[in-house]
Structures are given as C-alpha cells and as structure tokens.
Amino acid sequence: MEPETQRLEEWLNKGSHGKMGYMANHFEKRTDPTKLVEGAKTVVSLMYNYHTEEKQQDPEAPKISQYAYGKDYHFILKAKLKELFAFINAEIGEVSGRVFVDSAPVLERDWARRSGLGWMGKNTMLIRPGIGSYYFLAELIIDLEVEPDQPIKDYCGTCRRCIDACPTDAISPQGYILDGSKCISYFTIELKDELPSEFKGKFDNWMFGCDICQEVCPWNRFAKQHNEPEFEPHPDLLSMKKQDWHEITEELFRSVFKKSAVKRTKYSGLKRNLKFLQEGK
C-alpha cells in the first residue's frame, strides 16, 4: 500500500473527516488515477495563486477566508485547465484525459507533493519555497507518458506556529495531521448540523473558512498578490461593517456572493455561523 493511501485510510478510520461522508466514498478512485481515467499514465499537478493584500476594512467584522473573496475558483480554474488541455493536444497530438478542480475524489495535495510543487507543511497545506501556500491545486490526468519530477525536502524545521495558533487544536501536537472534525473551515463550511457548543468563543471571528494556520506560516511572507481579475471581491464585501454582517438579508447575500464559493454554506448557514460567533462573545 502506498504511504498516501495508508495515511488516508488511517485518517478516515479515526473519524477525522467528521460528517464529510464523501471523503470516505470512492476510496479506490481517490488513490488510483487509472480508476478515474482509463489508461492514465501521468498526473500533471498545477498551482494557481489566490493571495490578496486586500483586507476587510472593519477589524471587528466577521472574517471570510481569502480564497472565497472572488468568484468560485472551480469554474475559473476548470476553464483554464480546458484551455491548457486543448493546447497540449494542439502541440503534441491527441492526448486523452480529464481535468480536475476539486471535482472528483483525487489526492491532489499528495500528488502535488510527489511532483515537487512543494512539501506538506505541519498544517497539512502544500507549501512551496519562496511562494507559500495561498494556492489552489488542480490536475490533469492524461494517458501521455511524461518524465516525473521529484519531491522536495520539508522546510518546516522546528517551527510550530500553525500548531500553536490553531484555536480549536485541529492540528496534532507533532503536526502533519489535521483533525478535520475540529477545523474551523469544516465547521463553517462543511458541517450542516448545529455547531458544537464546546467550540463557542474559539472561532476567532471566522464566519466562512479560516486562514489562521496560513497567516502565521513564515513561508507566506513571500506570498504575492494574485493577478486574476475574477478573484477580485464584490465591492461591498470588504467595506461591510460588523453590524452589516449580522443584519445581512438574503437579498444582500445573493448579491455579494453571486457566483462565489460562499454560496456553498447558503444564507441559512452563514446566519447560523454569525449567530454562533455572537453567542461566543
């Protein structure tokens, strides 16, 4: 059994995926690219920057993870991957395969690590030297034989800033293992049930996602502003004050988050998260 496969199996057996049942589905497809693409010979891993220097203007406003500021990355990246795939076919000849952006059960982080794009940090994010971790991952699985790149070494060293900074202790004391069922991003995006009362006051004012383990990572001091117009936030998003968020209407939610990843939690989910933040004060 491959190390990544074994690690995923152990992670699932511990229940670290919480109520994200889809994580346990299609195990063989998740660990074997040929189950997704017949005749697959190569996984091409790609990174796409989403980091922005822009911030929400009110320091007391409930926070949204950077990746969700603009339009939903699934659609933006999939269109770019299809262009790349067409370019490959035009330059090389007929190549069969599929493009993936969180759209199927794939071990994107492990494949990216194997290809040398970065190492898996103690916060379990893929970190690239001189660049950081504010990147989306995407893949092409193709039937073209390509000489593989090699993994790079781990540069986390003795640093444990992400471990110490996580308010819900989602990262194991030694790092490299994340209990998804304790992660603020899981609670505010994935969990559809009532939020557990024992975590009140521990969300650090995050209403959608969480960037804490990335914000404290020393490697992200190298992060550069993205140049993707589609990732620019809705004009109202950054200017909304704390009170504006707590009084947000469904109409305003639909306007601000049109074509946004935040729509995944729905208006009712965001209101639930906002109420939880207030109760934890």
The per-residue pLDDT string of the chain (281 residues; one tens digit each, 9 = 90 and over) reads: 466 555 655 655 665 545 555 444 554 555 678 888 889 999 999 999 999 999 999 999 999 999 999 999 999 999 999 999 999 999 999 999 999 898 666 788 989 999 999 999 999 999 999 999 999 999 999 999 999 999 999 999 999 999 999 999 999 999 999 998 899 999 999 899 999 999 999 999 999 999 999 999 999 999 999 999 999 999 899 999 999 999 999 999 999 999 999 999 999 999 999 999 999 87
CA angle 262, 48, 3 (to 5 degrees): 95
Torsion of CA 196, 200, 205, 209, to 10 degrees: -20
State the pLDDT at residue 280: 84
* Distance from C-alpha of 184 to C-alpha of 276, rounded to nearest angstrom: 12
Q: Would you please indicate which residues are annotated as catalytic (active-site) residues?
A: 102
Asked if residue 140 lies in contact with residue 85, where contact means CB atoms within 8 angstroms, the answer is yes
Question: Taking the mean position of all CA atoms in its chain, how far away is CA 185?
Answer: 9
Contacts made by residues 70-74, CB under 8 angstroms, sequence distance 24+? 70/228, 70/230, 70/231, 70/232, 70/233, 70/260, 71/230, 71/231, 71/259, 71/260, 72/259, 72/260, 72/261, 72/263, 73/48, 73/101, 73/136, 73/231, 73/261, 74/101, 74/102, 74/103, 74/261
Q: Two tokens at 57?
A: 């203007």
Q: How many helices (H) and strands (E) does the chain have?
A: 10, 7
State the pLDDT at residue 14: 62
List the chain domain ranges. Answer: 3-279
* Distance from C-alpha of 34 to C-alpha of 173, rounded to nearest angstrom: 36
* Distance from C-alpha of 274 to C-alpha of 258, rounded to nearest angstrom: 19
* Distance from C-alpha of 70 to C-alpha of 259, rounded to nearest angstrom: 8
Q: Residue 84 burial (CB < 10 Å; 0-12/13-18/19+)? A: middle
Hey, which residues does 42 pair with through a beta bridge? 142
User: Where does 14-101 have alpha helices with state H?
Assistant: 27-31, 73-92
State the pLDDT at residue 9: 57
Cβ-based neighbours of 223, under 8 Å, separated by 6 or more? 51, 131, 132, 134
State the pLDDT at residue 85: 94
Asked if residue 256 lies in contact with residue 234, where contact means CB atoms within 8 angstroms, the answer is yes
How far apart, in Å, are the Cα atoms of 40 and each of 32, 79, 146, 192? 10, 21, 11, 36
